[in-house]
C-alpha cells in the first residue's frame, strides 16, 4: 500500500500496491479539518496506511490534533454483529440453554 500527496492542496490518495487508481481519496481530515502543510498530510497518510495493518490497534485520526481511536476487539465486533442482527447476549444464552 502506498500514498501520494498533492503538493498544492495536500489531498491524500492511497493506493493498493501495483495499482494506479487510488481506493481512497482524502482531501482533508475525515471531520473536515484542513491539512495545513504537506508534512501534516503525510503524518495522517502514514497513519491511514498503518491502520490497514491488522496487527496495528488503531484507526486513522479523524481530525487535526486527534489520536486515532482504538480498533474494536474481536468480541466487540461480534457483539456489534449480533446487535445488527437483533440478537442480544441474553438471546444467545437462551438459545444455547445457558440460562
| Each residue's pLDDT tens digit, 16-63 | 999 999 999 999 999 999 999 999 999 999 999 999 999 999 999 999
**Residue 62: Cβ-neighbour burial (10 angstroms; 0-12, 13-18, 19+):** middle
Q: Give the three-class secondary structure for 45.
A: helix
Alpha helix stretches (DSSP H) within the chain: 38-50, 74-84, 89-96
The rounded percent of the chain whose pLDDT value lies above 90 is 71
> In degrees, to the nearest 5, what angle opens at C-alpha 83 toward C-alphas 81 and 88?
120
Q: Please tell me whether residues 23 and 60 are part of one structural domain.
A: yes
The residue segments making up the domain with residue 42 are 2-68
Query: How much is the pLDDT for 97?
Result: 85
Q: Please tell me whether residues 47 and 93 are part of one structural domain.
A: no
Q: Please tell me whether residues 46 and 61 are part of one structural domain.
A: yes
- Decide if pLDDT at 78 tops 90: no
- In the chain, how many domains are there? 2
Query: How much is the pLDDT for 79?
Result: 80
d(CA 59, CA 37): 21
Mean pLDDT across the chain: 92
Amino acid at each position: 500500500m502506498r500514498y501520494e500527496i498533492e503538493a498544492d492542496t495536500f489531498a491524500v490518495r492511497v493506493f493498493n500496491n501495483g495499482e494506479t487508481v487510488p481506493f481512497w481519496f482524502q482531501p482533508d481530515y475525515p471531520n473536515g479539518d484542513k491539512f495545513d502543510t504537506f508534512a501534516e498530510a503525510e503524518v495522517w497518510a502514514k497513519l491511514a496506511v498503518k491502520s490497514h495493518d491488522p496487527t496495528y490497534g488503531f484507526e486513522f485520526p479523524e481530525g487535526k490534533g486527534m489520536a486515532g481511536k482504538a480498533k474494536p476487539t474481536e468480541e466487540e465486533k461480534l457483539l456489534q454483529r449480533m446487535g445488527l442482527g437483533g440478537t442480544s447476549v441474553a438471546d444467545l444464552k437462551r438459545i444455547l440453554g445457558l440460562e
